[in-house]
Amino acid sequence: MGFVPTMGYLHEGHAELIRRARRETAGPVVVSVFVNPLQFGAGEDLSRYPRDLERDLNVAGEAGADMLFHPSPQTMYPLGFSTQVSVSGVSEPLDGAARPGHFTGVTTVVLKLLNMVAARRAYFGEKDWQQLAVVRRMVQDLNVPVEVVGVPTVREASGLALSSRNSYLTDEQRARAAVLSRALGAVQAAYASGERRSDALRQVGLNVLASEPEAVPDYLSVVNPDLQEPELLTPHPDNRVLVAARMFGVRLIDNMPLPGSGGRTS
């Protein structure tokens, strides 16, 4: 089986994950929809996170899924549930620092879902680059018999990365939120021109974000495959520039590979 774990409110980015799984899977493709309470911190948007199961069924079916798995919180976390899965290292910087406990919630639910579905491959979007790195580390360290497949980010015409949380924004706000992808693109261009100093690359991106008064960054960071920010970047296919920022009351994340390091540019 191929498996696409999601929190629902499916969009074209999720559909691309499903289509990729369909192309690469001889057996059934399973999509899970579960808004995982363990990965939301105090004051975050658990209660208002967008939900529309009928929409999810339609998007998943049209993209080629065979089954949609929609467990209840009581199924996932029955009375007496007391186990958590924690990955050190790659889970600690960036979103790990900005959202304490978030990745413990992610890895706990992902491991449960992988065990429940027992798929050969699991598909994750590269928009959540740190999440992808954390899941890959967990699967490797715990000898989970699944291949974790990363799928490139799908974007709106403006460059804004698709996200279920984009539904919180108006059309005008989404257009302005594309400043995140412009900031990342500026860092890519600076890297392509020969800049390798992390602090200089970071400042290039922050200067672009500063052009949009509504953009309040949590972080903008250029990192190596271990998600650490060295003083000077050494070329590697998994070097990335990542950003998280709050705009119009919504927290948005995005990332791009650094050109010339062997990565994709989308």
Rounded to whole angstroms, the Cα distance separating 197 from 178 reads 25
Would you place residue 260 in the very low, low, confident or very high pLDDT band (cuts 50, 70, 90)?
low
Is pLDDT above 90 for 37? yes
Domains of the chain, CATH where assigned: 2-151 (3.40.50.620), 164-257 (3.30.1300.10)
List all residues 6 or more positions away from 86 whose beta carbon is below 8 Å from its beta carbon. 103, 104, 107
Q: Is 14 a catalytic residue?
A: yes
- Residue 140 counted as an annotated binding residue: no
Q: Which residues of 38-72 are buried (b: 16+ CB within 10 A; e: fewer)?
A: bbbeeeeeeeebbeeeeebbebbeebbbbebbeee
Rounded to whole angstroms, the Cα distance separating 159 from 175 reads 9
User: In terms of residues, how long is the chain?
Assistant: 266
- Residue 262 counted as an annotated binding residue: no
Query: Choosing from 14, 70, 102, 236, which is the catalytic residue?
Result: 14
Phi-psi group of 106: left, alpha or beta (phi > 0 → left; psi -120 to 50 → alpha; rest → beta): alpha
Is pLDDT above 50 for 266? no
What's the whole-number average pLDDT of the chain?
96
Is pLDDT above 50 for 263? no
Provide the pLDDT for residue 237: 85
Provide the pLDDT for residue 152: 97
pLDDT digits (tens, 9 = 90+) for 163-206: 999 999 999 999 999 999 999 999 999 999 999 999 999 999 99
Percent of the chain whose predicted confidence (pLDDT) is above 70: 97
Rounded to whole angstroms, the Cα distance separating 194 from 114 reads 42
Provide the pLDDT for residue 265: 40
Is pLDDT above 60 for 58? yes
Is pLDDT above 70 for 261? no
Q: How are strands ordered across the β-sheet holding 250-257?
A: 216-223, 240-247, 250-257
Average pLDDT on 38-64 reads 97
Nearest to 56 by CA among 93, 83, 30: 30
Contact 206, 220 (CB under 8 A): yes
Would you place residue 264 in the very low, low, confident or very high pLDDT band (cuts 50, 70, 90)?
very low
The answer to pTM > 0.85 is: yes
Residue corresponding to tokens 């890895």: 107
- Residue 41 counted as an annotated binding residue: no
- Please report the sign of the dihedral spanned by the C-alpha atoms of residue 198, residue 201, residue 203, residue 209: negative
- Residue 154 counted as an annotated binding residue: yes
Average pLDDT on 85-114 reads 97
Is pLDDT above 80 for 259? no
Provide the pLDDT for residue 205: 98
- Backbone φ and ψ of 103, nearest 5°: -75, -25
- Residue 39 counted as an annotated binding residue: yes
Average pLDDT on 206-234 reads 97
Q: What is the dihedral of CA 130, 215, 162, 196, to 10 degrees?
A: -50
Average pLDDT on 111-125 reads 97
Is pLDDT above 50 for 80? yes
- Residue 131 counted as an annotated binding residue: yes
